[in-house]
Amino acid sequence: MSREFLLQGVTFAFHCLPPSECHKLALLLQSHHGKLYDAKDNPTFVYVITSYWTDCKPGATLANVPKRLVTRFWLLESLRLKRLLRPTSHIYFQPPVRPSTLWLQYPREMYDDKKLDDSNPKVLLPSSPQFLFRGEVAVWPYVASILAQPIANIPDFIAKLRLMTILNSRQPFNSLEYALKQLLTLEEKNKWFHDVLPMMQQLVLQMPQMFAIPPPLLTPYHKVASHNATVASYPATQMHRFTKLQVLTLVCACFFGIFPNQKIGTVGKFTQVSQRNDIHDVQNVQFPSFSAIQMFSASTSRMMVLKGHKIRCFLQYFFRMVPHAKPDETVLTTEIIDFVRVAVHVPKCIPTSYTPSKILEMLYPTTKEMAMYPPLSTAMCVSDKLIEDLNEHMQIDFANEFPGGGVLDSGCVQEEIRFLISPELLVSCLVFSKLESYETFVVHGTERFCTYKGYGGTFQYTGNYQDKTDRTILSNNSFRRNNIVVGMDATDYSMTQVERQYSRAHVWRDLVKAFAGFSYKTDETCSWPVGTGNWGCGVFKGDRELKFLIQWLAASLHDRNLVYVVLTHEMEIQSKVKLLLNVVTSNHAKEWDRQEGGLTLWLTSFLFQEIETKGQTESVLTRALLSLERALKIYQEMGKSKGEMEKILVKDVSCQEKESSDIVIKRPKRS
């Protein structure tokens, strides 16, 4: 049996603590034989247990007594470890040393984030009194006291980052040091420490006033609704609007690494609709990290350089935006950015008995006045532009299910690069939880700040970028930049059977995902084309030809044209798309599509009835071309109505399955 730890002979006093807490601590100390301060005893030394929020020195009775200010956390840890710990061995063992100019004030109308049963959960901010270390220490007073101090140079900056984030000396911060030393000019270094960094510190200190009501967490759509296979889809959106100044402040706090992990309390009644259409506990709602600290250190020189260039992109954002954060400027307070979570509520799976027309009706319900389906929209491949260069397009971000992916760590592929050149997108990592299979996210109004070259491990910052995208004046006289980024996560087939992606279930999942992504509309953007590319076709092993067709169908259902961006060396897919488009734009095809939505019906039939046919060796686009030629031939010869054509399409698929054993001999290869 372990020996009891006693505080015999040790004297304690209290400072700036409420009476109820003093009473509890007194009982705790007395139970361990500690002694409470009495001036008559003339003690030689006193431990003064002090509030984390204290802003004054102990009173006159302790003025001439040798003492050490400590915290309740120090006492509890000493009792737990059964020895008196050195108060200087941990930042939270002593109250924060605050400059006399720093006042920890909160507005009267501040939101009470103790409400764990709130059905509309809010972001847990660094400035929240509920942000506690180990459920005990109020973190904000320490962070604020550090941010209120000047930062002189790189070692001083790193030292203060360690204190704010409770990191030990094993984190080298070599990537941050590389970025500040090697990727900035002497003039830029001086500007960083003399002008930009101090203003960033002040912005973060203003968070209690700027976010009196914290922004909402945009989580999976949680209204309880019953969905069955006979109900058509409907888009549901959740949106929060930030000013550019608010976004800048949040990204500054992210850069300092002070944001707590977001989580939703389990006490409340908040529920969400899962992808199986049942209701599950809020404990399953997960969020990305919103801290740049992992980006500041690297274990290899190559990774150090890569992360250094990523950091340089963020520095450029701060160089450009922070000077506009002065109180007398309105540039950042009148321009806004919208963050939107979009959900399309449909069944996770569809019965095998569903015909192409029934599948279409799930996403595009028709009426008696709408006797046909929408025609296939215009599609084209381009190789001379990148997705981010397509102005007035819905720019598709090939997202991770956790928005942002590895942007704040070592990741540097399509999504991460998009976030690096437009760091305002980083707020997605804060407000959006993990995406469900029927969800996407949209960010409307971000700006681009830098240029780059390379991809993955070869990524490099190359300079400033002046974004000349037009802005729209909104009804409240604010502005919003005409830029839309849509985040759509793909399924990872790299560790499983790649063939799964051709099954009805997986095609349906991707069609629903793309349909949700392309559904976002405002008055000025309802006809914007979709700018996309090889979605999930890198390490995830997706079939780019299949992804092209799925996205083409989804864009058509929203009456949007499709611009498919490929690399200059990807000539094969360009030539195949061109051959298919030649047939699609033929007179007979356009007539069929215009009168009956025939091409849309054909593409749906191909994706859900032909694509998973066994025994095929041709590529997806080659098979699509042959399938369309057969369908058009039947239409030209027989002139069938929509219902009859669908029966013929289904029958034609059955015939193909019977011929699968010798289909390679019967079908010539086509490029």
- Average pLDDT rounded to a whole number, residues 293-308: 98
H-helix or E-strand containing 240?
strand 235-243
67: pLDDT strictly greater than 50: yes
Please indicate, yes or no, if residue 63 is contained in any of the structural domains. Answer: yes
Please indicate, yes or no, if residue 87 is contained in any of the structural domains: no
Nearest to 432 by CA among 485, 479, 389, 473: 485
Q: Which residues pair with 564 in a beta bridge?
A: 381, 532
**What is the Cα Rg of the chain in Å?**
30
One-letter identity of residue 533: G
Q: What is the pLDDT of residue 56?
A: 82
pLDDT at residue 152 above 70? yes
Asked if 30 and 168 sit in the same domain, the reply is no
pLDDT score, position 483: 98
Q: How far is CA 461 from CA 251, 255, 341, 464, in A?
A: 19, 18, 30, 9
Q: Is residue 523 in a domain? A: yes
* Same structural domain, 436 and 324: no
Is the CB of residue 142 less than 8 Å from the CB of residue 165? Answer: no
Q: What's the rounded Cα separation, in Å, for the pair 27 and 36? A: 10
Q: Is residue 169 part of a domain?
A: yes
Work out how many domains the chain is built from and give that number.
Answer: 3
User: What pLDDT does residue 391 have?
Assistant: 96
Q: Do residues 450 and 421 touch, judged by C-beta distance below 8 A?
A: yes
Amino acid in position 258: I
Cβ–Cβ under 8 Å, residues 401 and 407:
no
The reply to whether 32 and 113 lie within a common domain is no
Instruction: Give all strands (DSSP E) within 445-542, no chain letters.
Output: 450-453, 460-464, 471-473, 479-481, 484-489, 530-533
Tell how strand 137-138 and strand 132-133 pair up. antiparallel
- 45 pLDDT higher than 50: yes
- Residue 276: its pLDDT value, please? 31
User: Residue 463 class from Cβ within 10 Å (0-12 exposed, 13-18 middle, 19+ buried)?
Assistant: exposed
Question: Quick one: pLDDT band at residue 614, thresholds 50, 70, 90?
Answer: low
Closest CA to 268 of 126, 434, 120, 431: 120
Q: Which of 531, 530, 534 is nearest to 567 (CA)?
A: 534
The token duo for 348 is 């996770």
Query: Which pLDDT band, with edges at 50, 70 and 90, does 168 fall under?
Result: low
H helices of 206-347, in order, are: 207-210, 244-256, 301-321, 331-334
Same domain, 125 and 252: yes
Segments forming the whole domain that contains residue 34: 11-81
DSSP class of residue 196?
A: I
SS (H, E, C) 647-671: HHHHHHHHHHHHCHHHHHHHCCCCC
- Rounded to an integer, the average pLDDT of 434-463 is 97
How many CB atoms within 10 Å of residue 342? 25
Q: Say if 663 falls within a structural domain.
A: no
Give the separation between CA 87 and CA 93, rounded to whole angstroms: 5
- Greatest distance between any 2 Cα atoms in the chain: 112
Q: Is the pLDDT assigned to residue 635 strictly greater than 50?
A: yes
Do both 427 and 313 map to the same domain?
no
Q: Binding-site residues for substrate, please?
A: 400, 414, 455
**pLDDT average, residue stretch 132-153:** 96
Q: Is residue 307 part of a domain?
A: yes
Cβ atoms 69, 94 nearer than 8 A: yes
Whether 398 has a pLDDT exceeding 90, the answer reads yes
Percent of the chain scoring above 70 in pLDDT: 87
How does the average pLDDT of the chain come out, rounded? 88
Of 168 and 328, the structure prediction assigns the larger pLDDT to 328
The pLDDT of residue 662: 40
- Is pLDDT above 60 for 661? no
Name the percent of the chain in helix, strand, coil, to the closest 5.
40, 15, 45
pLDDT band for 114, please (50, 70, 90 cuts): low
pLDDT category, 198, cuts 50, 70, 90?
very high
Residue 667 pLDDT > 50: no
Residue 665: half-sphere exposure toward Cβ, Cα within 13 Å: 4
What's the distance, Cα to Cα, between the start and end of the chain in Å?
Answer: 80
Q: How far is CA 404 from the centre of its chain?
A: 4
Q: Which of 301, 355, 322, 325 is nearest to 255 (CA)?
A: 322
Res. 356: pLDDT tops 60: yes
If one compares 328 and 95, the residue with the highest pLDDT of the two is 95
Q: Specify whether 321 is located in the same domain as 210.
A: yes
Residue 287: band (very low, low, confident or very high) from pLDDT cuts 50, 70, 90: very high
Q: Residue 111: its pLDDT value, please?
A: 72
Mean pLDDT of 319-325: 98
What contacts 537, CB < 8 A, 6 or more positions away? 543, 544, 547
Q: Is residue 280 part of a domain?
A: no
In this structure, the answer to whether residues 498 and 631 fall within a common structural domain is yes
Under the banding of pLDDT at 50, 70 and 90, the label for residue 660 is very low
Place of tokens 């995406």: 435
Distance CA 497, CA 22 (A): 63
Which amino acid, 639?
G
Q: Which two tokens stand for residue 664?
A: 């390679």
Question: Which of the four pLDDT bands, split at 50, 70 and 90, describes residue 533?
Answer: very high
Within this chain, do residues 44 and 138 fall inside the same structural domain, yes or no? no
pLDDT for the residue 484 = 98
pLDDT of residue 228: 45
Instruction: With beta carbons less than 8 A apart as the criterion, state whether 490 and 440 touch.
Output: no
- CA–CA gap between residue 592 and residue 644 (Å, rounded): 13
**pLDDT class for 644, splitting at 50, 70, 90?**
low
In a shared domain, residues 363 and 318:
no
Check whether residue 410 and residue 529 sit in a common domain.
yes
Q: Token pair for residue 325?
A: 């954060």
Strand partners, 397: 487
The verdict on 442 and 484 lying in the same domain is yes
From the list 227, 652, 148, the residue with the least C-alpha distance to 436 is 227
Does 272 map to a domain? no
Measured CA to CA, the distance from residue 395 to residue 518 in angstroms comes to 10
Is residue 383 scored above 70 in pLDDT?
A: yes
Give the pLDDT band (50/70/90) at residue 309: very high
- Domain match, 320 and 341 both: no
Q: Please give the structure tokens belonging to residue 264.
A: 């939703």
Note the residue count of the chain: 671
Distance CA 270, CA 121 (A): 8
Least confident among 46-55, 107-116, 419-428: 107-116
Among 46, 81, 116, the domain-final residue is 81
CB atoms under 10 Å from CB of 323, counted, come to 14
454 half-sphere exposure, CB direction, 13 A CA radius: 11
The CATH number of the domain holding residue 435 is: 3.40.220.10
In one-letter notation, the amino acid at residue 116 is L
Boundary residue ending a domain (331, 357, 389) = 331
User: Is the pLDDT at 400 greater than 80, yes or no?
Assistant: yes
| Residues noted as catalytic | 397, 415-416
Secondary structure E strands in 260-385: 272-273, 279-280, 335-344, 379-382
Q: Write out the binding residues.
A: 400, 414, 455
Give the tokens for residue 282: 């809020």
Per the model's pLDDT, the better-predicted residue between 616 and 378 turns out to be 378
The CATH number of the domain holding residue 48 is: 3.40.50
- pLDDT bucket at 231, cuts 50 / 70 / 90: low
> Strands 484-489, 439-444: parallel, antiparallel or unpaired by DSSP?
antiparallel
Percent of the residues in the chain that have a pLDDT greater than 90, as a whole number = 72
The residue ranking higher by pLDDT, 544 or 650, is 544
Contact 461, 314 (CB under 8 A): no
